[in-house]
Chains A and B, each alone.
Chain A
């Protein structure tokens, strides 16, 4: 099945099968759509009193930078997809350690504060990195180590492996919590849950963990660990009109932008709300509002369907994976992308609280874009490694 002959085999390439073309096409389609939407959201505004200064460092960002990020992401995706998972496995401990280090550095003076959260590392003036995005990749790989490398004769991870996985997840999650970045923390939790589920861990344990997590959340609330603004976000979720100028502003503006798009939208580049920059962070976390307004229900639904196709293929890869390692890795990655999509779109349509997570493949942001495409690359690697080992 493999293309190369046995003699020319290098350790890390030739036993692989072909790539999943549908998965690649879905990732490409989403990235391309993202570029168009970012372009629309960042183009010069002729609206009266157009807001300036919203957004991350450097304001609105530029489509050119996003194009560069997509290009870099595609190259990395291709490189990772050519790796044998067993070779990749060797790099997991340093990658995980590096991710922890970068997350810790964010809290040091090297980090920069944007919209109240310490999430960025400034590498050079104008060049910033969001380590939490790469930490998702590292965690997906790391979780698969205890959960996917079962001892001889076992079909599911034992208590030690599960405990180790939880410890591995707790490290970055703790650092993320102190940024603070609730959205990314939730994504980490979802990834851990997905990886555990994919690993075949006993249902009783999963149920116990879910209960524990719920208990922790309630306790955090009761002990006053939830910050007032986080609480307010939850409350305006129920009724954004309660505080239209404050916490509910983003949510209300996002809903108006999306709702006014109607069935077929106002046409790409013709969104009045988009041009007026009424929705803060419209090119990053609220990019979906541009899709909703300009492409309407048809376009927004199409984007969600393409995401669905990508996730579906990811789960197929997980199911067919020859090794438990590949299955757990794919399970973690799919959970990450699925949950983050749900959280992002959910907050723009009023189904989830406003927590800052980007829409995978679509939102503006170099780190997020590269991380998303790396995730697709990991799925491809799992896919190809799996095929090659199949008889």
Chain B
């Protein structure tokens, strides 16, 4: 290569190096201070852009949970922390403007963590914390414009969850906190409803002004959950429940309305309930502790009383008893050394199993249990399990209770666990009990438990046969068992969700209640039971409650239940179904008294409401 050309290339390389070095010198040495200041001022913040949460609608598309934009005041906790007093002055000023106590405001802003009670902020510390929702526009403007008084405080429009139907189905819908569904359908279908958050990266200079958005990923809105709930039936159920509790003096109860043939939920009412709107403004620790968050239809457990007898009748059929044969219903029946009395001690003469269900004879079932127990036949327990009791139904709602079906193994296990305590009590008695008689009774039980409390005895079986003695069911479990009796024996895992639909209307997936089992009863047995239950509201225990009911238009069949609860008023039940509309309606009133007097009239009100809606259609 010629000398000249090498020189040209060398010159080019030198020129390039000289240019770059000169520029570097200028940038770093001549102008370095300016850039150092800029570097100190520049901050990058990544702000998640919350997606619009999907709606929850009823079977006809009426909104149950939706979104509305409201002015929201947010506080940037990081900005407060940088202020000399940790932002106290700003928060105090803000508390005055918003009309909230300072302490409440301050507790909302602190991030959640171990040892931090509700309320607290579960989101990112670099994300503005909403402290007041739905503030009046003048307040929002005031906060937004007086930035010198309120550094780190912003007013913006944000979507918030609204419940157009008020408290309707509050437990079933659940709630949203920190962008995530925390209970009910909001939690069960959170993945569908949540959507995907976007991401906005903003460059902020040292004055706090946003100088650019170098990167923005838009959020993906959540899908809509179409439920099988019918807000009109829901309203009917809630009114009937509220009225029954008010007139009976009770405080808690539940109504379940289920499509018998499909396992779809039509209405779930539960009291005590709360206004789902409480979440949007944030809840204090005190308020939170008082919120009745448990859903009575799904998480409440009560002894089922006589509504349970359908399982005992099915067990009798399985064990070879002729359901149509005639059985004595004496005033009392002796099991071992204990006398078990009929309800009210009445001797009702001889009757078939149909009659035993219709007038709710107890002694026939005591005898049945005693005879089965003597034979070592576990038909009662096995049949009850076959009806789906003692384990969750698998409904699409979180936190479902399992209920309980006591049996020999369970009793033995519990006895082992408590034996030491029983024996200690057998020796020491109950000196702390003021009531001497009660103390003696408890001591006697402890003595017996210490000795051989683990044995499953005839008395236990007798109690089991009439839905007492440790049997617990949820209203939902009872409803789906009765629905199975109505539909010919199919047990479903009930579903409130019916379909997931994209915002553009296309269906993501449809939800079908899965079949989880079949009742351990023949078609003939089920027909027999249905026939017997049809008598109950006409001539049986619920005849009073259903006097004048238009059976010609809806052939409602059902069963009353009255369960003793120690030290409290009885639990009142009515479980019912009809062929058309093929609904199952279960009502429970805790401390509601007799099933015939509390729950049955409430169930009648629900059926009449359904009938009225039919007429309106």
A, B assembled together: yes
Flag whether B437 is at the interface (Cβ < 8 A).
no
* Contact status B20-A345, CB under 8 Å: yes
* Contact status A259-B35, CB under 8 Å: yes
The residue in chain B whose Cβ has the minimal distance to the Cβ of A346 is B20
**B21 cross-chain contacts in A, Cβ below 8 A:** 301, 304
Query: B residues 390-416 with Cβ under 8 Å of A?
Result: none
The stretch from A166-174, A231-239, A273-281 touching chain B is: A273-281
Flag whether A61 is at the interface (Cβ < 8 A).
no
Flag whether A350 is at the interface (Cβ < 8 A).
yes
* Contact status A256-B46, CB under 8 Å: no
Flag whether B439 is at the interface (Cβ < 8 A).
no
Binary interface encoding of chain A residues 303-342 relative to chain B, with 1 for a CB under 8 A from any of its CBs, else 0: 0110110011001001101001001001100110010011
**B24 cross-chain contacts in A, Cβ below 8 A:** 258, 292, 297, 300-301, 304, 349
Flag whether A371 is at the interface (Cβ < 8 A).
no
Give Cα A315–Cα B10 distance, bound, in whole angstroms. 7
The stretch from B36-44, B110-118, B174-182, B220-228 touching chain A is: B36-44
Give Cα A246–Cα B46 distance, bound, in whole angstroms. 16
Describe B's contact surface by its main secondary structure: helix
Give Cα A330–Cα B12 distance, bound, in whole angstroms. 15
Binary interface encoding of chain B residues 23-57 relative to chain A, with 1 for a CB under 8 A from any of its CBs, else 0: 11101110111111011101111110000000000
* Contact status A272-B1, CB under 8 Å: no
The size of the chain A interface, using a CB distance under 8 A, is 59
Q: How far is the CB of A292 from chain B (nearest CB, A)?
A: 7
* Contact status A312-B28, CB under 8 Å: no
Flag whether B2 is at the interface (Cβ < 8 A).
yes
Sort chain B's interface into a size bin.
35 or more
Given known contacts A249-B203, A249-B214, A272-B39, is B28 in contact with A261 (CB within 8 Å)? yes
Describe A's contact surface by its main secondary structure: helix
**A308 cross-chain contacts in B, Cβ below 8 A:** 13-14, 17
Q: How far is the CB of A59 from chain B (nearest CB, A)?
A: 14
**A48 cross-chain contacts in B, Cβ below 8 A:** 43, 45, 78, 126
* Contact status B8-A51, CB under 8 Å: no
Q: How many A-B residue pairs have CB under 8 A?
A: 151
Flag whether B6 is at the interface (Cβ < 8 A).
yes
Partner of A255, one of B8, B27, B33, B212: B27
Given known contacts A297-B24, A304-B20, is B44 in contact with A278 (CB within 8 Å)? yes
Give Cα A315–Cα B11 distance, bound, in whole angstroms. 11
* Contact status B32-A194, CB under 8 Å: no
Q: How far is the CB of B333 from chain A (nearest CB, A)?
A: 73
* Contact status A311-B211, CB under 8 Å: no
Given known contacts A49-B126, A315-B9, A338-B13, is B36 in contact with A327 (CB within 8 Å)? no
16 additional contacts (CB under 8 A) given A258-B28, A259-B35:
A49-B46, A50-B46, A51-B215, A246-B212, A256-B39, A259-B27, A260-B35, A260-B38, A262-B29, A263-B32, A292-B28, A297-B25, A308-B17, A327-B1, A331-B9, A349-B23
A residues at B contact (CB < 8 Å): 47-52, 194, 197-198, 200, 244-246, 249, 253, 255-263, 272-273, 276-278, 280, 292, 296-297, 300-301, 304-305, 307-308, 311-312, 315, 318-319, 321, 324, 327, 330-331, 334-335, 338, 341-342, 345-346, 349-351
Enumerate 25 A-B pairs (CB-CB under 8 Å) in ascending A order: A48-B45, A48-B78, A48-B126, A194-B9, A198-B1, A198-B5, A200-B5, A260-B32, A276-B42, A292-B27, A292-B28, A296-B28, A297-B24, A297-B29, A301-B24, A307-B17, A312-B10, A318-B6, A319-B3, A331-B1, A338-B16, A342-B19, A349-B27, A350-B23, A350-B27
B residues at A contact (CB < 8 Å): 1-3, 5-6, 8-10, 12-14, 16-17, 19-21, 23-25, 27-29, 31-36, 38-40, 42-47, 78, 126, 201, 203, 211-215
